[in-house]
Amino acid sequence: MEGAIDAFMVYLEEVKKKAVSTRAAYHSDLRKLQGFLDGLGVSRVEDVSRTNLNSYILYLEKNCFAQTTISRNIASIKAFYHFLFREKRVVEDIAEDLKTPRIEKRMPEILTAKEVDKLLLQPSGDSAKECRDRAMLELLYATGIRVSELLSLKLSNVNLKMGFVMCGSAGRERVIPFGSKARSALVQYLESARSAMIAEEAQEILFVNCAGQPMSRQGFWKLVKEYGRQAGISSEITPHTLRHSFAAHLLENGADLRSVQEMMGHADISATQVYQRMSCNPMREAYTRAHPRG
């Protein structure tokens, strides 16, 4: 089975042009499946049965894996077997009828406008690190881009004069405007901080860590969490919280749904409509005014 997984990885990279993180997720899911099948004494993809696959899904459920994790595993298995069937490595696509568990959608956590203000005021010093942190937080809230997009921004992706960033994968790039506060923070970072942080002049990544290298997701997550603590924000806060807050605040203040969808990079408008339902409305205002603990 290992050879089939390796072939699938090559297909994802060379044909489907999937990102490294996506390929890593597929590989991890399929290696877990392989380990389970090895325990059943099944080592060849040709010998795997529908019962084997259903037993694996049942195993995930019994071991209390999250529904999102189970759904992702099923998607990985389906993509894998679709590839095997198309390549004539198996005689039928036995994963085609695997049922994905229904996932209960949770409303995303958002900050109030006052909480955002408090958070963005935390890196207030003039050190290179605080200039960078301030620019990152301001740009993240100003554009609503994903943390992966923020961390992969290059100098050439930012147009300070026109006030926009370009991000996204090839074929799905989008242009997102940003305002004066984000621009001021970026100018300060670029003019007085970045040159002191980069390890080499040829570095194209916009935001670097203190060693002059591209920042990791974990590093930025810790940074946001620490500033949230300093701001006295009691709710759990992650970089994605600012993305959610960006969308909710835009819609709350009258932005049209389609524009927010485009800026967020949502393929399906239903993903953007979640934020619309979170916007302030007369019922919420009445509750806040009238409830003793509103």
pLDDT over 60 at 285, yes or no: no
Which has more confidence, 205 or 267? Answer: 205
Query: What average pLDDT does the chain have?
Result: 87
Q: Which sign, positive or negative, has the C-alpha torsion 45, 48, 50, 55?
A: negative
- CA atoms of 218 and 225, how far apart (whole Å): 11
**pLDDT tens-digit map of 227-283:** 999 999 988 888 888 989 998 898 888 888 888 888 888 877 777 777 776 654 544
Prediction pTM value: 0.61
Class of domain 2-86: mainly alpha
* In the chain, where the domains are located: 2-86, 113-290
Backbone angles phi, psi at 165, to 5 degrees: -120, 150
pLDDT over 50 at 287, yes or no: no
Name the residue with tokens 């921004």.
153
pLDDT over 70 at 286, yes or no: no
- CA atoms of 235 and 238, how far apart (whole Å): 10
From 56-70, 157-171, 252-266, 269-283, the region with the lowest mean pLDDT: 269-283
pLDDT over 80 at 76, yes or no: yes
Q: Tell me the HSE value of 187 on the side-chain side, using a 13 A CA sphere.
A: 10
Q: Which two tokens stand for residue 58?
A: 């049942």
Q: Does domain 113-290 have CATH number 1.10.10.10?
A: no
**pLDDT tens-digit map of 27-49:** 999 999 999 999 999 999 999 99
- CA atoms of 144 and 266, how far apart (whole Å): 12
